[in-house]
Amino acid sequence: MGLNLIKKIEAILFLEVDQIEITALAKNLDVEQNICLKEIKELEKYYKKNNMALTLVFNEDQIQLVLKPEMANFVEKYFHKKTKKEQFSPAMMEVLSIIVYKGPIGKVGIEKIRGVNSDLILRKLAIKGLIERAEQIKNSRIFVYKPSLKLLKKLGVSKLENLSEYDKLSSELKNFG
Amino acid sequence: MKNKNKKIKETDPLGVLLELLENQQLEITDFSLAEIADEYLDYLNKFENQDKMIENISEFLWVASRLVLIKSKIILNKFGFQKNDLSTEEGESELKNRLIEYKRIKEISLELKRVLESKKELLSKKKSIHATEECLTNFNIKDLKNVFQKIIRDYELERKNIYQKKEVQDVIKIKDKIKEISEVLLKIKKIKFSQLVSIKNNKLELVVSFLSILELFKKGLIDIKQQTCFEELEVASIEE
């Protein structure tokens, strides 16, 4: 068997430590983006169907090869690694929830909901790598915040929509304007 | 009213209001907001969490003013004023909506925190730091020795410098130098810049002298000439 596309993609995903952008991956492999995405989905399906330890996490254009959530405990035991328990203050969780269910959202929008300045908390979350700052599509001078791939990994979901009741909650919150 | 004197834990404007409502198990309605208005104002007056409140004081006042507005409308209603008589302000329902939304966010954030801390993470490969062979090419024990000796030398030099710097230097003031230069120029009309610096190789005096002639030039008291770049400056007094 030759080196088909799915194998190449799997190889790169296996070796890469960081998240990969699908656009960059497709360009590198010299294929159309949607073909690349199709193969990635195929790979994800394979892992699922054959009950493997691996799965993929998707965040917009970014993907990463990860272990399924049920592997976390076992792997930590094997490597005798105690992950430090991160502390999340109520204020941090509020901002995070707003970004997860209402994002991408600007600083002004977040502060309007909370009624307090949220600069410091946004900075803390950004340092932890849990949120990403991006330029607003319509107006590039305004920054919006959105969940990062790392946050999805921490939440144990392979895409945002897999959070329980995501659709319900996000449309509920978006109704508030 | 029960729990009236319960200490308020929240410190943000909307949070305080939500907690007050919660303490009395009230829903978020115009009526309950009117009922709670006095307590909210009480809280503001007590000013217990000063440092945390002060940064959000405008928001606190916004909330308080809306509460008073809602309450006064309800009272006016009792006296027979029809709702239509009173123009409805935007902020009225805005406060209610914001409260409901903020309450939901608080609830959702608790759930999200539970998910986040459930430790069902999706793990990925970790970066491992390893010295590659590349780092070690062109390297031998002699280099190590040389580098170490250089560090020791630099250290000694640095230490000497520190002691030298401690010697007290005479301070030369620009004011004094200007006076000195002016006096010199009264006697001689033209002088070379290097002649103005009395002690050779004294950087401080050189700098002060230069600043002095710049100042004098600015004031229009002297004229400075230089034939070509990097050549000696010629300082001349201007005839009045």
Q: Inter-chain contact B98–A115, Cβ cutoff 8 Å?
A: yes
Inter-chain CB proximity B122 and A57 less than 8 Å:
yes
Contact residues for B60 (Cβ-Cβ < 8 A; gap 6+): B13, B16, B44, B53
ipTM exceeds 0.85: no
Q: Does A156 contact B112 at a Cβ distance shorter than 8 Å?
A: no
* pLDDT over 70 (residue B129): no
CB atoms within 10 A of CB B125: 15
Instruction: Compare CB distances from A75 to B56, B59, B123 and report the shortest one's residue.
Output: B123
DSSP class of residue A88 equals -
Closest of B39, B46, B48, B42 to residue B2, by C-alpha: B39
Q: What is the pLDDT of residue B2?
A: 46
**Does residue B1 have a pLDDT over 50?**
no
Q: Which residues contact A21 (CB under 8 A, 6 or more apart)?
A: A61, A62
Tens digit of each residue's pLDDT (9 = 90 or more) over B182-211: 888 888 888 888 888 876 667 788 888 889
Chain A CA closest to residue B18: A114
Which residues of chain B make contact with A96, given a CB cutoff of 8 A? Answer: 109, 112
- pLDDT tops 80 at residue B116: yes
- Residue B60 and residue B13 in contact, taking contact as beta carbons nearer than 8 Å: yes
Q: Describe the crossing of helices B13-23 and B57-78 by its angle, rounded to 10 degrees.
A: 50
| CA distance to A101, A106, A148, A165, per residue, from A62 (Å) | 19, 21, 9, 23
Of B98, B105, B123, the CB nearest to A66: B123
Q: Considering chain B, what is the average pLDDT of its residues?
A: 79
Q: Which of B40-49, B63-72, B82-91, B155-164 has the highest mean pLDDT?
A: B63-72
B86 DSSP assignment = S
CB contact under 8 A, A176 and B97: yes
pLDDT at site A96: 94
B95-99, B122-126, B133-137, B211-215, range with greatest mean pLDDT: B211-215
Are A88 and B113 a contacting pair at CB < 8 A? yes
Tell me, what's the pLDDT at A10?
A: 93
Determine the residue among B53, B101, B110, B122 to mutate to test chain A binding: the one whose Cβ has the most chain A Cβ atoms within 10 Å: B122
Is the peptide bond prior to A104 cis by the omega test (within 30 degrees of 0)?
yes
Q: Is A163–B115 a contact, with Cβ atoms under 8 angstroms apart?
A: yes
Do the Cβ atoms of B56 and A116 come within 8 Å?
A: yes
Q: Is B232 on the interface with A (CB under 8 A)?
A: no
Residue in B with minimal Cα distance to A176: B101
Cβ contact (<8 Å) for A90 and B119? Answer: no
- Closest-CA distance, A125 to chain B, in angstroms, reads 14
Q: A94 to chain B: which residues are within 8 Å by CB?
A: 105-106, 109
Residues in chain A with pLDDT values less than 50? 1
B3 touches chain A (CB under 8 A): no
Residue whose C-alpha is closest to residue A17's, from B122, B123, B126: B126
Please, how many CA atoms are within 13 Å of residue A100, restricted to the half-sphere of its CB?
A: 34
> By the CB < 8 Å criterion, does B101 face chain A?
yes
